[in-house]
Amino acid sequence: MQLKDPSLLKTQCYIDGQWLNADNGAVIAVTNPATGEHIADIPKMGAAEAERAVAAAQTALKGWQAKSAKERSVILRRWFDLMMAHQEDLGIILTSEQGKPLAEAKGEIAYGASYIEWYAEEGKRVYGDIIPGPAADKRVLVTKQPIGVCAAITPWNFPNAMITRKAAPALAAGCSFVVRPASQTPLSALAIAELAHRAGIPAGVFNVITGGSSEIGKVLTEDDRVKKFSFTGSTEVGRKLIAQCAGTVKKVSMELGGNAPFIVFNDADIDAAVEGAMISKYRNAGQTCVCANRLYVQSGVYDAFVDKLTAAVAKFSVGNGLDAGVNFGPLIDQNALAKVQEHIDDAKAKGGEVVAGGQPHALGGLFFQPTIVKNVTQAMKVAKEETFGPLAPVFKFEHEDEVVGYANDTEFGLAAYFYSRDIGRVVRVSENLEYGMVAVNTGILSNEAAPFGGVKQSGLGREGSKYGIEDYVEIKYILLAI
């Protein structure tokens, strides 16, 4: 890895301001999904080290919450500046462990850093209220206080932004934080810790621990010192972690699976819809929870849309994300490839027609061809399950009510997209889609100013925006008799 600042490549955990190995010296290998090359070994820590990280966060809490919001803001702003100053190196580390093309990785660094910038400001605006009391001699005061030690488990698909999106509001509110990143992508998390150290975040306020997911997860969800737990990942694991948090009645936030519909009506701007589908479907090789999973196209524009999408997909340059010109990287692992292939095979067996891709890429390894299948129906697996890969299944529909019914026929409710130029339809469909986020005439909706999150089994809580910090504070009511 050619870094301008090689000291950003950390291979130890960051606990209580110290760089540490696992007690027993065990390690986990990190490999580059594009090349299979071994990049680093990181500590395989367990319950004992996790308890120490929680203890450090508990000890550091007092000093951090005693600082003024403005003092915390100055430190967070420094963290943001450092992240942007090292955007190129952080991008290279991210691409090397995760696979997404370098331009996308650098985009994620800026996106991740934007949450730190946002909450450096928002932390100063955690307002309370003074409410007229129930009697003339009473005043009701409402204040918001940091919830306490916060913990998080994050996934491999956004190794930087899924950490900053949780840590920034926590730290801005005056909480301390322990994160356990995915074992496939720990190096981005450790680089973030190095920059937290350089920014002057006090020891114990921000901790990164790598290692066994169930062992560490058990401590982070069951230790009573942790007051708030946040997770991004699959719905299956999320359910388990919510249950584990129940024993100590922790506040939880969950960003879980999606099954995003992407609807194109006859009155849409088809070129804009194709452009939106390209980014919504194929960003990060289809591995985001807000990726379009089901493309519903009205019959009048179905053939034109499929033809234009097929032409656009043919222009992808697949390869190692660090190579110039590459804009489509590998998948994360063999399980991911197998799931994409399973969904394609199921669709083909039930009458779907592959019009682009359809199989592993000639480059071999973890590369899969960007794929489009047409003549897809509700009977196929792709209608119900999240593919989390580069497969665009295109369904045909006739009527607005029919497609809204299909779109809502899922236990998930994270993101939905649609294209239409009819203002009445835009309002109706936006209101009728049972999703936490709806994008109209655009294929990308994530930004730090907006509340990111889902309804139904896609999760609990919101991240980003003025709403995101609410999860990291407790409301205290003080009754004042005068």
Ligand X SMILES: NC(=O)C1=CN([C@@H]2O[C@H](COP(=O)(O)OP(=O)(O)OC[C@H]3O[C@@H](n4cnc5c(N)ncnc54)[C@H](OP(=O)(O)O)[C@@H]3O)[C@@H](O)[C@H]2O)C=CC1
Q: Answer yes or no whether residue 446 interacts with ligand X by CB under 6 A.
A: no
Instruction: Select from 65-73, 74-82, 287-295, 342-350 the region that touches ligand GUA (CB under 6 A).
Output: 287-295
Q: Which residue is nearest to ligand GUA (CB)?
A: 446
Q: What is the SS3 string spanning 99-148?
A: CCCHHHHHHHHHHHHHHHHHHHHHHHHCCCEEEECCCCCEEEEEEEEECC
Q: Count residues near ligand X (CB under 6 A).
A: 21
Residues forming beta bridges with residue 393, ordered by sequence position = 373
Q: Which DSSP string corresponds to 187-241?
A: HHHHHHHHHHHHHTPPTTTEEE--B-HHHHHHHHHH-TTEEEEEEES-HHHHHHH
Q: Answer yes or no whether residue 237 interacts with ligand X by CB under 6 A.
A: yes
Among the listed residues 97, 194, 223, 255, the single contact to ligand GUA using CB under 6 A: 255
Return the exposure string of 41-56: e unless at least 16 CB atoms fall within 10 Å of the residue's CB, then b.
ebbbbbbebbebbbbb
Q: How far, CA to CA in Å, does 427 sit from each of 272, 403, 438, 442, 454?
A: 19, 15, 11, 15, 20
CB of 111 to ligand GUA, least distance (A): 7
CB of 215 to ligand X, least distance (A): 8
Q: Answer yes or no whether residue 446 interacts with ligand GUA by CB under 6 A.
A: yes
Q: Answer yes or no whether residue 157 interacts with ligand GUA by CB under 6 A.
A: yes
Q: Which one of ligand X, ligand GUA, none interacts with residue 82, CB within 5 to 8 A by kind?
A: none
Instruction: Give the other-Cβ count within 10 Å of 316's Cβ.
Output: 18
**Nearer CB in complex with ligand X: 229/397:** 229
Q: Which of 386, 359, 361, 391 is nearest to 376 (CA)?
A: 391
**Nearer CB in complex with ligand X: 123/212:** 212
Among the listed residues 12, 234, 341, 408, the single contact to ligand X using CB under 6 A: 234
How far apart CA 49 and CA 53 sit, in angstroms, is 6
**Nearer CB in complex with ligand GUA: 117/255:** 255
Query: Is there a catalytic annotation at residue 255?
Result: yes
**Nearer CB in complex with ligand GUA: 108/400:** 108
CB 400 within 8 A of CB 265: yes
Per the residue annotation, which of 104, 117, 255, 463 is the catalytic one?
255
Tell which positions 164-183 bind ligand X, by CB under 6 A: 182-183
Among the listed residues 214, 334, 378, 442, the single contact to ligand X using CB under 6 A: 214
Angle of helix 235-246 relative to helix 213-222, nearest 10 degrees? 40
Tokens 């985001």 -> residue:
288
Binding positions for ligand GUA, rule: CB under 6 A:
157-158, 161, 232, 255, 288-290, 446, 452
Catalytic residues: 255
Binding positions for ligand X, rule: CB under 6 A:
153-157, 182-183, 213-214, 217, 232-234, 237, 240, 255-257, 289, 386, 388
